[in-house]
Amino acid sequence: MKLSNLPVPVNLDTVANNLADPLFLVNRDKEVNWLNKKSRELFHTSDEDAQGAVITELTGIAKLDSLLDDVFEQETELKCSYEEASVKVKRQDQRYFFKISINPIFHEGELWGGLVQFTDVTRFHEMEKIKTDFVSIVSHEFRTPLTTIIVGVEMLKEGMLGDLTPRGKEVLEAIGADCERLSRLIDNLMELSRIESGTIYVEAEPTDVTDLVQEAVRPLKFQAEKQGIELITDIAPNLPPVAADFNKAVWVMANLVGNAMRYTDPGGTITVRVRQRGKRLFFSVQDTGCGIPKEHQDKIFRKYVQVSGPGRKGTGGVGLGLAIAKDIVMAHGGEIWVDSELGKGTTFTFTFPVYYGDESVKLPEAEEKGG
Amino acid sequence: MAKKILLAEDEKNVILGVRTCLDAVGYQIEIVEDGEQALDSVRREPPDLILLDLLMPNVDGYEVLKELKGKEETRDIPIIVLTAKAEEEDRQRAMDLGADNYMTKPFKPQELWDLLKNYLPEHDA
């Protein structure tokens, strides 16, 4: 099916100018060669003014510079699109959020430039904000009644409010354990809503790797011992510091080790390793647990997905830990993945960049000034 | 001697929980249900320590902190914030206003006892 074969004359301009999304064609020097009607409207410009202007100046979105560099340096056909690269643009007192996709354009085998497409995700952002606020309010509201329950249960359990029958004690233990679960759920929901609201910053500071690992592992050692699991740390000598937000990095590590403990049987081993490869440090948590079925491996970093193994039911998790861990690692410019074999065990690995200088990253996206 | 703790909290059930908790280890406890009453109570008879909720009617916990930590005569009374507000900004704001400690709900009795022991080492039921 071709445009030129239609019964009525429709040219490419007509199509481009009726698109709801702004579209730019830029050359390798990032100069605008063409733009559609929506771009002219949104960025208050004309064909004449836009012609030859550098796209970052025309749009006021400085971030485009590095995004275009990324595409131009790859020199290969990229599938696009930069999911993480949505930018905030303020125009006439209205805020827009765009997702930016860039497709490289080749001419006679040479990279000529790129097609820059903005997709309006403002409505999506608004919905996210409503959801985030809701989660925050709900988790806040849960804390007060939970206080009464936990304090009461603990006092009863300790026998400070009178004697209990053995069955009564058993029931209280169960209530106590489920309260812990609820508390953990609330903490995780809050953490997630904080990350999603973009109001927190990841302050990447030079962070000592041994400190990081020890801080995460220390509180879990006792529990591991109680479960009959050997917890080993294996940190290569003389590692440089990583650029990381200490508390958040500790959270990620502790979460992975905690997960490993939930899926490892007594007599098993959990090994925390840190190695350097190039400008990155690789942190891995390897267990000898039940493993994760292949079909679940690509799903486990999604929200509200529980890792389940053969013959195992829910383990008290809420399916948020890994989603949060991924958000945190990615905000540091790192990566996280899983290798697992059923019956043999699982290894989670994440990377953090080696610290080279002053840097700080904001979650989840850079804010750009416009108009 | 038994130490006296002022609890400023507007949730009836939480009051019951905290009161039970403090009674068990022999603290004397006075309860007020808003910030204004808290300030009145401190003026009348300063306690050895204050457990302070942040969200309360009339005068909120932040105001109470500002008022008590800003005055020479009440500055040294330890104030532990007990709150459902778990955001870092809230903690920071309370600490900036002079709170001595900040405990988010929910908490276990042992955590509260441990914290109180730090500030009231010579308590004796």
At A2-32, the pLDDT tens digits run 777 777 777 888 888 899 889 999 999 999 9
At residue B46, the 3 state secondary structure works out as coil
Asked if A226 and A241 touch (Cβ cutoff 8 Å), the reply is no
Rounded Cα–Cα distance for residues B62 and B47 (Å): 18
* pLDDT tens by residue, A77-95: 554 444 444 555 666 667 7
> Which of the listed ranges A95-104, A123-132, B24-33 does the model predict with the highest average pLDDT?
B24-33
Q: Please, are residues A334 and A349 in contact by the beta-carbon 8 Å criterion?
A: no
- β-pairing, A32-35 with A23-27? antiparallel
Could you read off the pLDDT of A94-116 as tens digits, one per residue? 777 788 888 888 888 888 999 99
Integer Cα distance of A56 and A36 in angstroms = 16
More confident residue, A346 or A365: A346
Report CB contact under 8 Å: A143, B106.
yes
CB A281 within 8 A of CB A242: yes
pLDDT in tens, A257-291: 998 998 899 999 999 999 999 889 999 999 999 88
- Measured in angstroms, the CA of B68 and the nearest CA of chain A are apart by 25
- Across the interface, whether the CB atoms of A151 and B108 are under 8 A apart is answered yes
Cα-flanking dihedrals φ and ψ of residue B45, to 5°?
A: -150, 100
Check pLDDT > 60 for residue A189.
yes
Per-residue pLDDT of B86-104, as tens digits, reads 888 899 999 999 999 999 9
For chain B, which residues make up each domain, given as ranges? 4-119
DSSP A289: S
Q: Crossing angle, helix A246-262 and helix A209-226, to 10 degrees?
A: 30
Q: What's the token pair of residue A218?
A: 């220390």
Closest of A113, A95, A99, A108 to residue A34, by C-alpha: A113
pLDDT of res. B18? 95
Provide the pLDDT confidence category of residue A220 given band limits of 50, 70 and 90: confident
pLDDT, mean of residues A132-159: 89
Report the residue of chain B nearest A200, measured CA to CA.
B88
Residue A62 has a pLDDT of 78
Does the B4-119 domain belong in CATH 3.40.50.2300?
yes
Cα separation values, B79 from A256, B41, B65, B75, B87, Å: 36, 14, 8, 9, 19
Which runs of E-coded beta strand occur in chain A? 23-27, 32-35, 82-91, 94-107, 110-120, 201-202, 205-207, 230-235, 242-244, 269-277, 280-287, 336-341, 345-353, 361-362
A-interface mutation test, from B105, B107, B114, most A Cβ less than 10 A away: B105
Sequence-ordered list of residues with C-beta below 8 angstroms from that of A48, at least 6 positions apart, any chain: none
Output the pLDDT for position B30: 96
More confident call, A61 vs A211: A211
Helix (H, G, I), strand (E, B) or coil at B9: coil
Comparing A76-90, A192-206, A220-234, A329-343, the range with the smallest average pLDDT is: A76-90
Query: CA of A13, closest CA in chain B: separation in Å?
Result: 51
Q: Report the chain A residue with the minimal C-alpha distance to residue B106.
A: A147
Q: Name the band, by pLDDT with cuts 50, 70 and 90, for residue A122.
A: confident
Name every chain B residue with its beta carbon within 8 A of the beta carbon of A143. 84, 86, 104-106
ipTM of model: 0.89
Selected for mutation to probe chain A from B29, B108, B115 (highest A CB count within 10 Å) is: B108
- Nearest of A317, A35, A307, A320 to residue A196 by alpha carbon: A320
Residue B20 DSSP SS3: helix
pLDDT of A200 above 60: no
Give the tens place of pLDDT for each residue, B46-102. 999 999 999 998 899 999 999 999 999 999 999 999 999 888 889 999 999 999 999
Are residues A143 and B11, on separate chains, in Cβ contact within 8 Å? no
Q: What is the 3-state secondary structure (H, E, C) of A49-61?
A: HHCCCEHHHHHCC
Q: In this complex, how many residue pairs, one in chain A and one in chain B, have their CB atoms less than 8 Å apart?
A: 60
Of the candidates A158, A183, A190, the beta carbon closest to that of B106 is on: A183
Residue of chain A with shortest Cα separation from B13: A148
Give the per-residue pLDDT at A210: 95
Burial class (CB in 10 A: 0-12, 13-18, 19+), B70: exposed
* pLDDT value, residue A316: 52
- Whole-angstrom distance, CA of residue A278 vs CA of residue A272: 20
What's the whole-number mean pLDDT along residues A165-185?
88
Can you tell me whether residue A255 is helix, strand or coil? helix
Average pLDDT, rounded, for chain A: 82
Q: At what angle are helices A122-157 and B109-119 packed, to 10 degrees?
A: 80
* Residue A208 banded pLDDT, cuts 50, 70, 90: very high
Chain A, nearest residue to B84 by Cα? A143
Q: What is the pLDDT of residue A198?
A: 58
- Whether the Cβ atoms of residue B3 and residue B120 lie closer than 8 Å to each other: yes
What pLDDT sits at residue A192? 73
Give contacts of B17 with chain A, Cβ < 8 Å: 147-148, 151-152
pLDDT of residue B78: 97
Contact A12, A19 (CB under 8 A): no
Among residues A155, A143, A147, which one has the least CA distance to residue B22? A155
Q: Which of A146, A155, A160 sits opposite B106 (nearest CB)?
A: A146
Say yes or no for a CB contact (<8 Å) between B107 and A151.
yes
Question: In the prediction, which pLDDT does A359 show?
Answer: 43
Residue A367: pLDDT above 50? no
Distance (Å) from the C-alpha of residue B14 to the closest C-alpha of chain A? 5
CB nearest A154 (choices: B18, B104, B109): B109
Is the confidence at residue B37, as pLDDT, over 50?
A: yes
Cβ separation B84–A143 shorter than 8 A: yes
Residues A231-237: what's their mean pLDDT?
94
